[in-house]
């Protein structure tokens, strides 16, 4: 039997570990925010100062009025939203086929899809760029959405397949007895029942597409089409990096996705864990 003192020590150790992880993961965000409030002289001061001595919002005014950051964030919203809708549509159909039809080799197909997602982007970008250039998809939102669909569909497919397998077969049998077709059954019965899993997959896809950099850099070369990650990375600096503008723009760019994650974190965790048990 574990004594009360042993339980308390273990609980303290667990809380200390969680606290340490929270500090590690949130420190960069806090540092970026505090740096965005510093004037240029404090950013380059030595030794470095954690807290701003003279906080100012001048960096935010300069970024919002003198750059295309608002356009970059809007582009990210458009690309992430279109990609999410497209990916969830195709992943839902494929997940139902793998989870319910049960054709020979269905599990192998799922494994192959997941393996494709692990393939390095650098190896496929030259061929992808050539194809997209010939098809006129370079510098178009359609091109980046197609690229993201191929890149992130395996992740959504894995999440949805796992969740669809937990749905009772009796629901589908009842729907078939009522004359419900396959497509109608998927959209009117399976998807609503699997709402937590679908929502979790959709949110994860939005986060992944929002943070993606390499494909957006290659496919969207025109400045007014760039996403936030690419636009901030290419901020000009004649003699040095403008860290005051970069940290301010970075904090503004991560704020929407940070708020989205905070608001829907229970749905993300619930959707993923619910599909883990049968």
Q: In this predicted structure, what is the pLDDT of residue 238? A: 47
Residues of the chain with pLDDT under 70: 1-4, 102-103, 236-240, 267-268, 270-278
Domain spans, the chain: 4-43, 66-274
Q: In this predicted structure, what is the pLDDT of residue 278? A: 46
What is the phi-psi region of residue 45: left when phi exceeds 0, alpha when psi lies from -120 to 50, beta otherwise? beta
Q: In this predicted structure, what is the pLDDT of residue 226? A: 92
**66-274 in CATH: which number?**
1.10.3720.10
pLDDT digits (tens, 9 = 90+) for 152-199: 999 898 888 888 888 787 777 777 777 777 777 878 788 888 888 888
Q: In this predicted structure, what is the pLDDT of residue 81? A: 94
């Amino acid at each position: 039997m574990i004594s009360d003192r042993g339980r308390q020590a273990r609980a303290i150790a667990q809380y200390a570990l969680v606290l340490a992880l929270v500090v590690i993961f949130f420190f960069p965000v806090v540092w970026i925010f505090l740096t965005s409030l510093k004037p240029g002289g404090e950013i380059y001061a030595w030794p470095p100062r954690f807290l701003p001595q003279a906080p100012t919002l001048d960096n935010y005014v300069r970024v919002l009025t003198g750059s295309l950051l608002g356009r970059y964030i809007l582009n990210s919203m458009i690309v992430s939203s279109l990609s999410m809708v497209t990916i969830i549509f195709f992943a839902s159909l494929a997940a139902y086929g793998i989870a319910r039809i049960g054709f020979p080799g269905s599990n192998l197909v799922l494994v192959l899809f997941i393996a494709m997602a692990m393939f390095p982007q650098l190896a496929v970008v030259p061929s992808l760029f050539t194809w997209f250039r010939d098809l006129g998809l370079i510098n178009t939102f359609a091109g980046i959405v197609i690229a993201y669909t191929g890149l992130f569909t395996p992740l959504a497919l894995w999440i949805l397949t796992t969740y669809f397998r937990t749905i009772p077969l009796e629901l589908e049998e009842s729907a078939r007895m009522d004359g419900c077709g396959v497509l109608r059954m998927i959209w009117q019965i399976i998807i609503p029942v699997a709402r937590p899993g679908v929502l979790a997959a959709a949110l994860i896809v939005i986060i992944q597409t929002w943070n993606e950099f390499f494909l957006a850099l290659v496919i969207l070369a025109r400045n007014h089409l760039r996403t936030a990650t690419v636009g901030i990375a290419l901020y000009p600096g004649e003699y040095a990096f403008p860290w005051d503008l970069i940290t301010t723009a970075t904090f503004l760019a991560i704020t929407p996705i940070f708020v989205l994650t905070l608001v829907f974190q229970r749905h993300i965790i619930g959707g993923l864990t619910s599909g883990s048990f049968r």
